[in-house]
Structure 1
Amino acid sequence: MKKKLFGQCAACNLEKPEERYRNISNYALEKALTGIAYEIHCPEIKVGTLFCNRCYCAIVEHNNYKKYKNNNKKRSIERDLTYQPNNQKKRITVSLEEYQRLVNNSKSVEELKIEIQELKGQLEIAMKPMSPDNNTFIKYFNDKIQRLTTVLYNYQHRERNKPVLDADEFVTLIENRDPNLRDFFNLIYQSMNPNAKGWKTKESLKQKVMLLCYQMAALRNKQVSGTKNVIELYMAGTGTSTVGINTLSNMGLSATYQTVYNNKKQIVNVYEQTIQEYISDNQQKLLILNIDDYHDLHESRIPSVTSINRISHMATILLNTNNILPILLSSTFYNPNGIDANLLKQALNFQYMTGFSNSYNAQKFNWISIKDITTLNEFDLVETLVVHCYDADLSEKHVRRFDTTKLVDFIPLDLKNMNDYIKVLIKVFRLSEMQSYLMNYIIPIPADFPGQLYIRRAIVQKLKYGNQCSIPKEVLSLVPILGPLHVSLNTRESCFLTIHPFFNELYKESTIKSYIFARFKYSKDLGYCTFVDLLDNLIPATLDIYTILFRENNFDQYIETIFRLWTVMRRFGRKNYDKIMLALISDIQY
């Protein structure tokens, strides 16, 4: 058994009891001298020199190590050369080429000290306050924010204006009030890289930059907080909890919930004054009143311990304006007989029955001012048939916008009788500006059947009993009229739902109509007569009553078609609208 060698390695100068040591023999010396590793590790190598096993292999077995490295593919994985000071057993192994590079690139202690001093100098420069030249942008940006804050403070706080929420209007406001702010908004906007975005994203980006300007101004002056109040009211209106609103407040995006509550109280206190101002500003225009029943179909109907939930009804009171002059109030405006049966008989016999013998399509050819819907181009045809749509694409159609509409009140009431309508009307009559308007002018009320019935009943009772009844006298300045949209929607419902299976084949009618007429001519066959009446009378009259006759202001033809659709309501048993249409014709004839 060989004796285990111990000692100090001549190459690494370490004593490692756990490692094997080897002496250099004559054969090992010859192999070592064929390479160059000994010159690096131990230039004074000779027979009997003691090496650890690792250094011995590196000096003597260097050729075998190269062959082993090239032939064994599994050894190609990179080793972890990370230095770990706590692991004394682990040694870092590098290739000979890497070792030569490290030796050649090694620096002296003096060179390292010089580099450390240079890094310290750079750090001191970076930590020093900026020079006046570097403060140029800070001064520029500070000046712009100060000017922006001044403009918004004067506009919102001193002049008591609401914050501008349109980006283009915002830019116009700040630039007109302070010319030094020109291109400041565009500077921030261009820094957001808008050229790489689509059109809609650009518009959204403008709104976000505007909000950023408001936030920067609010950080400088807390009185410029109009947008925070707008956001808080919107969040409260959408049902956001107190915790949610306060969280947004902590983020600097909104005011606190207590501020929301205070703003709501303030809005309630001043809202009546805004209604008075609205009526006063439109004294020389025609005011239009609308009263309708709104009910929440999505309310929970599960009863609790103390109550049984049901659908909540709310009466909405709206005012709108028209640019035409108001209609003067006249004492002879109303028929003292209410709906006059004798007047209706004369009008129906001598004015409408002659035209009623022809179909609607045949009668329409006699109306020179009415365009045939089949002659319209595709865009106008679709536009004409749009009756009731809330799509966002209609936002630019000013005749259907709510800019001129004012909400007067919103009260819990289901509007099921005349007294309910009188309660709602008293809310309107108690406004002083409304009283002065009703003393001189009338106000039309487009309404559905209940509104027509109960408001007309109140008017007739006031005419009949005068001061003996408790109905307010202002009711005589109201003119309930049958809304053309109600006529259109209800007649469509009657026609389309009653004869729905037929409409799947309706598109073929235009190709076979002439052949059918040539074949049947004046036949009294029930199926043929129903077919002709549906396609030449009911459907075109239903489609035209609102979209063509009313919108294009063809009033005489509109009233004549009202009579024709009254017969449709009678035929389909619509007991409400067959009466209210006669009431409209009676008023027109009077």
Structure 2
Amino acid sequence: MIETINSGLKGFFNFMTEAIIPKECSAYSINEAKKSIVGLCYLIAGLRNKFVNQHKLEVGLYLRASGATWEAIDTMSSLRYSACAKTVDNNFHVYNIDDYHSIHENRRPDTVSTSTVKHFATCVAKPIIECPSVPLVFNGQLQDRIVSNDFDPIELLTIHSYADNIEEYKKERSIKGVQLLGFKEQIYILYKIMTQHLDGRVAAVVADWPSQIFIKKALYMRTFPALRSSFPQQIESFLPILGPLHVSLNSRKQVIMMYHPFFEKLFHFVFGKNFKLAKKPCSWRVNLLLELAQNGWLIIKDKIIEKFGRACKNVEYRAVVDLLDNLVSATLDIYAILFRSGQFSEYVEAIFCIWTFALRWKRKNYNKAPLVFLSDVFYWSDTNHPFLNVLQNHLTCFNEYYVENVHSKIRANTSKNASVNSIIKQAYFIMNHDPTFKNTYCKTQQYSYTKKTLDFLYNKTALFLVQHFQSIFYNREKNIPKSNKNKKKKLPTTYYLATLEKNVNLRHLLTAYSTAHPPHPGLCDSCGRSLVMKMAWSLFAAMKGIFKNIQKFLTRIEKGADTLIEENLDDDSDDEENVEEEFEEVEEVDISPKLIEKMNQIKYW
């Protein structure tokens, strides 16, 4: 057949066999040797043209089916005997979609110039090695997952630092294998070509809420016959998933903003009154304050609870304990510990906890987004969908850290005056360039505080908390509900917290205060009924929140506008206050004796 196509090759194969195979070989040996010569011809052709790879692919598929490892297949590929392992395996890919803004400095508003910020949409993909793709038509079984929980305390403080040259970054933060699929100057990316590989396969898209909402809307629109042709069939493979990194970041920042007076007092006590705590602090400072609060609380927790008693229902005391015991720990652990250690069941429970906080805080997006994720998980479990198996076994891979890291690289390698085209070209160059030289000679960044300094800060925070709880103890009778201006509302909606010297609404208090039966000071909450009834009231409040916000989400999908509105962007804004924030110098003085003395005096309050 080859000789028919190209007459110049007539007699070439016979010449090869006569030159290579000894004439004294048997007919069987000659026939087997001819097979080797065919392989040699494919090898020679592949050296001249990389697209002649069918023979290599067949070899690679055979090696994979025989149990060869990725390393073995890639070794054979380097010898030009086989296709590479990525070509052989049809791996499951996790996609990230996010927006990028070319901002390089603190933004200060003025009236003499217009904004020069360029806005882009980014899509990256990372394979899950040795995890096969998931079909849309399925019949799978669930498997056990592997759990790991080994994190360095300082590394946890850099959880929202996306540069790849920080010394504390872990293996799962590596962007090795990440592919930049799209980087365009538009609000969203619409795939019309090069999506044939998605046919019949699940394509998980990990994204923030604005990036999820339009994919879900497009999927809904494809259910209408009249609109089906307006959307490519391949989008049926897209599966938007709640991004754990954004859940962690937004919930942490919300805790600081909601309880800013408390954290401001803590900040001034620990670092000094000469420093200012921004209303919207940078991510690294948010992480530091929450870690200080949690570790300081653990030092004194037992003695404080023993002093106040487990039945104490003082509104300010319960609000601070709820903050330290529930809000801080949940927002710190959901991504840094539970997600990254692969604890799927605990991670799902934490998502529900975060949703209850968002419901109490009246968040516009995160009182809906977690419910959508939980609904998907329950559906996959009820239908025994194989994607749940992938999610459980490879939870840490469903992470939008990769796109944030790509954005960090782009920002570090472009100037604020760069044009749109130059930014796009630089983005593709960065992702396609071998970073070995840069990784070898680039200086790594270290966290500014050592473990010794952090231990000192934990003790100082504990000292602050002891004094704060002492003030709460002496101000117990001064925490009172404020009268309602709205006569239609019989229950109080505002309380005065004497130690903070602030009037706060129900969003700052325990969830029970947002129910129809708020805690009654000095009396049993059940008013003669069992405590189970109290749980039922809280559960009923949560159920009302579920039904209400699911209905709002469905309305947004079915009838909402095809453009982003303020409500969609409200919770996902990463804007930070225009205040220079640097690590404060800490003068370490041994305060352990003073802390021990203060803790020993708690029982004498």
**Structure 1 and Structure 2 fold alike (TM over 0.5):** no
Superposition TM-score, scaled by structure 2 size:
0.39
Superposition TM-score, scaled by structure 1 size:
0.40
- Mark the structure with the bigger radius of gyration: 1
Of structures 1 and 2, the one scoring higher in RCO (CA 8 A, sep 6+) is 2
Structure with a larger share of its residues in helix:
1
